[in-house]
Amino acid sequence: MVRYLVHIGEVLIFPGLLFTAVIGLVTSWIDRKVTARVQMRVGPPFLQPFYDIVKYMIKETCVPAGASKFVFLAAPLFGLAAVTVASTILWRPMVWPEKSFIGDLIVVLYLLTIPAVSVVIGSFASANPIASIGGSREMKLILSYELPFILACLVPVIKTGSIEFGRILAEPMAAASPAGIIALIVAIVCMQAKLTLVPFDMPEAETELTGGAYVEYSGPPLGIFKLTRAMMLFTMPVFLITVLWGGIPLHEGAVPAVLGAVKYVGLIVITVLIRNTAPRVRIDQAMKFFWGPVTLFGVIAVIVAFIEGL
């Protein structure tokens, strides 16, 4: 019983929902601020993402006529739950290495696709053609990046022969080997699509689809979606660092922790820079891009990893 209460505490407060949400929202503030500075604007105050979430909560909830109300409202919750659990599973070994693991690499990999799936299902449940198009693009985007992303994630599996985070974390991957570096680059490109940030934001494409997948959402459900996105913005880089870059070992003292934080900020800066300098591509271009060159680099990373293991 106490064990379960501890689990609930972990998932709701630290390192789960509250922790991930706060850091995620702060990260989204960095993103917005940098974007604003790039565009010669002042940018929002520090607490703006938090104000936004509160405001979403007090706005009216609209459910489109003809929509499946339960699916429409439940979809955001499953996305939020998945990213929360994924984040908890990821952070546990980095905070308390003595605790047993809940899941492994494959579990987290699958959990991290659920937020995107929940957007797809939610958009379909809106019974709006524009949302349907957005949802279908999101689904095709999942298809595109999944192949190279899996290849990149297999590099540490080839190196360690294991899918356990404990074994993978023991190996300081990217810094040490060419295979790890290539895999990290591939994974960063895939992360951009997984976060549906420019140039891969065609599921919501404000200018042509007016929000696309989110077009019918308003109030708290939209707030939950935005919160989930902010949490993904935090969790995805952490996942990359954990799998390919030695992790952020909070338990090992200040220096490794700060080093991990620097890696995290570095990834965020790369993401924000790409988002502010690239134009949006079409979905077919994105698919060709991911299944073509990016997958090629993923395959090269895998081959190099095998060669290094000889």
Partner 1 sequence: MNELIAQSNMLLTDLSAQPMVLLIAVPLFAGIVCRFLPSKGGAVAAVIAFLTGIYAFLIAWPLFNAKAAAFSHHNWLALRLDGINGFILLATTVFSLLILIYSFGFMKGKDRQNHYYAYILWTLGASCGALLASEFILLLVFWGILGVTLYLLTGISGPEAAGAAKKAAIVIGGSDSILILGIALLWVIRHTTRMQGAPVEFGGPLSYIAFFCLATAAFAKAGAMPFHSWVPDCGEKAPASVAAFLPASLDKLLGIYFLYRTTTLFTMNSGVTTALAVIGAGTIIFAVMMALVQHDLKRLLSYHAVSQVGYMVLGISTGTPLGIAGSLFHMLNHAMYKSCLFLCAGAIEHRTGTSDLDKLGGLAKAMPVTLFSCIIASMAISGIPPLNGFASKWMIYQGIIESGRSGGVLWVVWLTAAMVGSALTLASFVKLLHASFFRQPSPEVAAAKPREVGPGMWLPMGFLALLCVAFGLRYLSPLSRFIFPAVNAPVSFTGKWFVGPATVMIAGALFGGLLLYLLGTVKKPRVCRTYIGGEYLDEVYISGSEKSTARDVEVTGVDFYQTIRDMTPFKQIYTMAQWKLFDLYEVGTHVSFFISKIFQFFHTGVLRQYISWYVIGMIILLWLMK
Region of 183-191, 199-207, 238-246, 286-294 interacting with partner 1 (CB under 8 A)? 286-294
Residue at 210: amino acid letter:
T
Q: Which of 32, 35, 38, 68 binds partner 1 (CB under 8 A)?
A: 68
244 sits near partner 1 (criterion: CB under 8 A):
no
Please identify, using beta-carbon distances, which residue of 33 and 194 lies nearer to partner 1.
Answer: 194
Q: Which of 23, 25, 94, 111 binds partner 1 (CB under 8 A)?
A: 111
Question: Which of 42, 98, 161, 207 touches partner 1 (CB under 8 A)?
Answer: 161
Cα separation, 38 vs 149, in Å, equals 29
CB of 95 to partner 1, least distance (A): 15
In the shown chain, the binding pattern of residues 114 to 133 toward partner 1, with x for contact by CB under 8 A and - for none, equals x--x--xx--xxxxxxx-xx
Q: Which of 142, 92, 100 is nearest to 121 (CA)?
A: 142
**Contacts (CB under 8 A) with partner 1, residues 13-42:** 16-17
Tokens of residue 87, six digits: 């984040």
User: b/e string for 282-306 if b means 16 or more Cβ within 10 A?
Assistant: ebeebbebbeeebbebbebbbebbe
46: part of which helix (H) or strand (E)?
A: none
Chain residues 167-206 in contact with partner 1, contact rule CB under 8 A:
none
Yes or no: say if 148 and 292 are a contact pair by the CB < 8 Å rule: no
The 199-238 contact track toward partner 1, x by CB under 8 A, reads ----------------xx--xxx-xx--x-----------
Is residue 251 close enough to count as binding partner 1 by CB under 8 A?
no
- Binding to partner 1 (CB under 8 A): which residues in 77-106? 77-78, 80-82, 84-85, 88-89, 100-106
Using CB atoms within 10 Å of the CB of residue 221, give its burial: 0 to 12 exposed, 13 to 18 middle, 19+ buried: buried
CA separation (Å) from 109 to 81, 89, 163, 243?
Answer: 15, 11, 11, 10
